[in-house]
Amino acid sequence: MNKELFDLASWAIETAKKAGAAASRVAIDRERSVEVSYRERKPENIKEASKRTLSIEIFVDGRFSGQSTSDLRKKALEEFITHAVGTTRLLAEDPFRSLPDPRYYEGRAGIDLETSDPAYTRFTPEERHKAARAMEEACLQAGGDKVISVTAGAEDGQSESVLLASNGFNGYQESTYFTGSAQMTAQDAGDRRPNGYYYAVAIKHRELPGPEEIGRLAARNTLDLLGAKKIKTETLPVIIRNQDVPRVLSGLLAAMYGSSIQQKRSFLADKKGQKIASTVLTVIDDPLLVGGLGSRLFDRDGITARKRVMIDQGVLNEFFVDWYYSRKLGWEPTTGGPANLIVPPGTRSVAEIMKDIGRGIYITGFIGGNSNSTTGDSSVGILGKLFENGVPVQSVAEMNIAGNHLDFWNKLVEAADDPWPYSSWRTPSLVFSDVVVSGA
């Protein structure tokens, strides 16, 4: 708990009230980040940044505005807030803008979500440089004579935030993060220069893979792209790698937001309680996951965080509806967006599944593409490996999968046992049957 930030936020609420605001909500965020990257065995970037920001949402005369400043001196803030209240009066009325009913603040969990590493302040500049050097060196060694270039970096950060509302809400959050990443460009036949990478993100430094492993995996992922080519258009099974699943899942979820529904941009608007995917697909939003990268006790509206099963064995249960769009839709609010999104894993490894399938494509990346939340139509380019008899035999690229989300997600037949741990979206590799893969 940071008393200094709470006192300043409380003062800002009172200042807005004195200036004529009927209600207000104040967030004060303090952040620090450090980045070190290496290229050609030399430091390429060394950055450190710190900032403090006060954001205020003002409700006055049926009007609303949100404004922010990085000047937190009280004299400057008083002028800023008074001016903000005045300019808000000039805006058009919006009868749906208000603070949430305080009953939605009730029932907050009294648990430590462990979103911060107590050892963060003991992480030294020497350790950052050592990690970046080790990632680059491991990638160079594993890439061998195919390497054109390697960039590796370590980044970490610490943040805390206070949120206060004039109708009684107050909350505090703090977090840390550590990342390690390496990116490699390789020489392929002719003028082809495929680029691959590997990265990991964790709240606690000890939860990251070793830097050497990050470098080796970046090289492996790049070398796997060598010799990639199209195969003929074919209908066959595909397996989407765990860390790449969010790319396609986000297209489905885009239609589950209150804003999309209210603005007539959702192909799922009228499908609550209906089957929209195969029974293999369950999607859980769990903001109370201890140690989760997206964990929180409340959202930006101050609404108390609760675990929700958004899709249950293929049936659409819930939408992401913040307070504003709940009022426009006349619905109960849930939350404005996902915290920790979890797709429960299966029991078999990708290797076991490949062996059972025999022939298919293991997708390890996407290129370009689009997804239409209004119609559900989507199209995306893919990278990956063709496997025969359960064994990868050829890299593939410049191919495409297209269709409609309602059709695509009903082709889901299995989830692997490998949930991706380095994201707030914990997704396992997913297996789909009878997918048309367009190629030569």
pTM over 0.85: yes
Q: Is the pLDDT of residue 224 over 80?
A: yes
Q: Quick one: average pLDDT of 315-319? A: 98
Per-residue three-class SS string for the chain? CCHHHHHHHHHHHHHHHHCCCCEEEEEEEEEEEEEEEEECCEEEEEEEEEEEEEEEEEEECCEEEEEEECCCCHHHHHHHHHHHHHHHCCCCCCCCCCCCCHHHHCCCCCCCCCCCCCCHHHCCHHHHHHHHHHHHHHHHHHHHHHEEEEEEEEEEEEEEEEEEECCCCEEEEEEEEEEEEEEEEECCCCCCCCEEEEEEEECCHHHCCCHHHHHHHHHHHHHCCCCCECCCCEEEEEEECHHHHHHHHHHHHHHHEHHHHHCCCCCCCCCCCCECCCCCCCEEECCCCCCCCCCCCECCCCCECCCEEEEECCEECCCECCHHHHHHHCCCCCCCCCCCEECCCCCCCHHHHHHHHCCEEEEEEEEEEEECCCCCEEEEEEEEEEEECCEEEEEEEEEEEEEEHHHHHHHEEEECCCCCCCCCEECCCEEEEEEEEECC
Helices 3-18 and 74-88 meet at what angle, rounded to 10?
Answer: 40
pLDDT tens figures, 101-123:
999 999 999 999 999 999 999 99
pLDDT tens figures, 25-64:
999 999 999 999 999 999 999 999 999 999 999 999 999 9
The pLDDT > 90 percentage for the chain reads 98
State the Cα–Cα distance between residues 31 and 97, nearest whole angstrom: 29
Q: Are the C-beta atoms of 29 and 50 separated by less than 8 Å? A: no
Q: Quick one: average pLDDT of 298-307? A: 97
Domain ranges in the chain with CATH number 3.30.2290.10 = 3-31+44-100, 120-223
Q: What is the reported pLDDT for 396?
A: 95
State the Cα–Cα distance between residues 255 and 311, nearest whole angstrom: 13
Neighbouring residues of 118: CB distance < 8 A, sequence distance ≥ 6: none
Q: Are β-strands 377-388 and 425-426 bridged in parallel, bridged antiparallel, or unpaired?
A: unpaired
Q: Is the pLDDT of residue 1 over 80?
A: no
State the Cα–Cα distance between residues 257 and 237, nearest whole angstrom: 30
Q: What is the reported pLDDT for 265?
A: 97
Q: Quick one: average pLDDT of 322-349? A: 98
Q: Are the C-beta atoms of 138 and 221 separated by less than 8 Å? A: no
Q: What is the reported pLDDT for 279?
A: 98
pLDDT band (50, 70, 90) for residue 364: very high
- 377-382 contacts at long range (C-beta below 8 A, 24 or more positions apart): 377/402, 377/403, 377/404, 377/405, 378/248, 378/251, 378/402, 378/403, 378/404, 378/405, 378/408, 379/403, 380/247, 380/248, 382/437
Q: What is the reported pLDDT for 361?
A: 97
Q: What is the reported pLDDT for 404?
A: 97
- The one-letter amino acid at 109: A
Average pLDDT, the chain: 97
Q: What's the CATH number for 3-31+44-100? A: 3.30.2290.10
Q: Is the pLDDT of residue 2 over 90?
A: no
pLDDT tens figures, 235-265:
999 999 999 999 999 999 999 999 999 999 9
Q: Are the C-beta atoms of 360 and 375 separated by less than 8 Å? A: no
CATH topology of domain 120-223: PmbA/TldD fold (3.30.2290)
Neighbouring-strand partners of residue 199? 181
Q: Is the pLDDT of residue 325 over 80?
A: yes
Q: Is the pLDDT of residue 178 over 90?
A: yes
Neighbouring residues of 126: CB distance < 8 A, sequence distance ≥ 6: none
Q: What is the reported pLDDT for 243?
A: 97
Phi and psi (nearest 5°) for 284?
-115, 135
